[in-house]
Amino acid sequence: MPDATDGRRLVAGEVFVSFAGVGVTYGSGAGRVPALEGISLDFAAGDFVCVVGPSGCGKTTLMQSLAGFLKPSSGTVSIDGRPVDGPGADRGVVFQQPALFPWLTVGGNAGFGPMLRGESRAARAETVEQHLRTVGLWEFRDRYPYELSGGMQQRLAIVRALVNKPKILLMDEPFGALDALTREKMQEELHTVWRRTGMTVLLITHSVEEAVYLGTDVVVMSARPGRIVERIAAPFARREGERSSRETKSLPAFVALRERVLSLIWQSAET
Ligand SMILES: Nc1ncnc2c1ncn2[C@@H]1O[C@H](COP(=O)(O)OP(=O)(O)OP(=O)(O)O)[C@@H](O)[C@H]1O
Ligand SMILES: [Mg+2]
């Protein structure tokens, strides 16, 4: 068994993403906010890591340090042995609030990354159509972001990250604004994309059920300053097509794991 407070349990050759002793402190003097402390967490290529923890515990901060948007105050974040020193095309990011270009249509937003990469117009049109159809936005391709609901905007933000075929997909509570039905549908779509591409995913979610269902690993964080309380291997993500999502989510083993993660969050919020 790995040490409960240690997210590093892989042998060296398997490590793809590594947080080594990462701490992040915002501000200085009296306004100092220690957001993360002593985060050590390794994961392999193809892992689907779900991060859960109380609000304000530093989940977004953790993701931003891997995205390259902020430099940790201590420790190192590395990908494939190379320290992260800024954003890169190998990482696709979906923010907590959808970040879209308001002056571009839905189709324009979806095709923006492939256009930057110089993909031909025909190839781009095909990729965009396929992805917009998958998330149910094809009929809205000529609309502008302000004409979409919050959930539709978030679906478009997910498409925008996926069309770039990133090696690592970073998602910050991407389904929070979706209704229950669409949320389940999007979980399935994300799962399919993950299985087909072998992409590595870091998903932050407030839904413990979602984390246990989608993740190969569930990382539970403590209240601020965020530390890793426990990293739990979850078996359900790699079981393909055996049963429907509702069936899986009502399995006794699933319910037991969900309850275990929930009680860890409650305990960590109280301490
Ligand atoms: N740019 C910033 N400047 C100062 N403090 C910040 C900044 N960003 C975040 N913080 C603080 O750091 C802590 C962690 O914030 P973070 O956004 O990472 O939490 P979170 O776990 O993502 O929360 P939530 O679940 O509500 O999204 C919070 O106390 C927050 O107030
Ligand atoms: Mg957050």
Residue nearest atom 17 in ligand 1 by C-alpha distance: 60
By the CB criterion, residues less than 5 angstroms from ion ligand 2 are: 60
| pLDDT of res. 96 | 82
Residue nearest atom 2 in ligand 1 by C-alpha distance: 26
| pLDDT of res. 105 | 97
Q: Cβ(150) to ligand 1 under 6 A?
A: no
Contacts of 214 (CB under 8 A, 6+ apart): 48, 50, 187, 190, 191, 203, 237
Whether 204 and 60 have beta carbons less than 8 Å apart is answered as: yes
Closest ligand 1 atom to the C-alpha of 96? 27
What's the burial of 9, exposed, middle or buried (CB within 10 Å: 0-12/13-18/19+)? middle
Residue nearest atom 9 in ligand 1 by C-alpha distance: 61
Closest ligand 1 atom to the C-alpha of 63? 18
| pLDDT of res. 12 | 57
- Per 3-state DSSP, what percentage of the chain is helix, strand, and coil (rounded to 5)? 40, 25, 35
From the CA of 172, how far away is ligand 2's center (Å)? 7
| pLDDT of res. 130 | 92
Residue nearest atom 25 in ligand 1 by C-alpha distance: 55
From the CA of 188, how far away is ligand 1's center (Å)? 29
From the CA of 60, how far away is ligand 2's center (Å)? 4
DSSP state of 97: S
Rounded CA-CA distance 23/224 in Å is 12
DSSP 55-76: TTSSHHHHHHHHHTSS--SEEE
Q: Per residue of the chain (271 residues), what is the pLDDT tens digit?
A: 344 445 666 665 589 999 999 999 999 888 899 999 999 999 999 999 999 999 999 999 999 999 999 999 999 999 999 999 999 989 999 988 888 999 999 999 999 999 998 999 999 999 999 999 988 899 999 999 999 988 889 889 999 999 988 999 999 999 887 888 888 888 888 888 898 888 999 999 999 999 999 999 999 999 989 999 999 999 998 876 667 888 999 999 999 999 999 999 988 877 6
| pLDDT of res. 245 | 85
Q: Cβ(18) to ligand 1 under 6 A?
A: no
Q: Which two tokens stand for residue 217?
A: 């690993």
Listed residue (169, 149, 192) closest to 94, CA to CA = 169
| pLDDT of res. 14 | 87
**Ligand that comes closest to the CA of residue 70:** 1
φ/ψ bin of 75: left (φ > 0), alpha (ψ from -120 to 50), beta (otherwise): left
Closest ligand 1 atom to the C-alpha of 206? 25
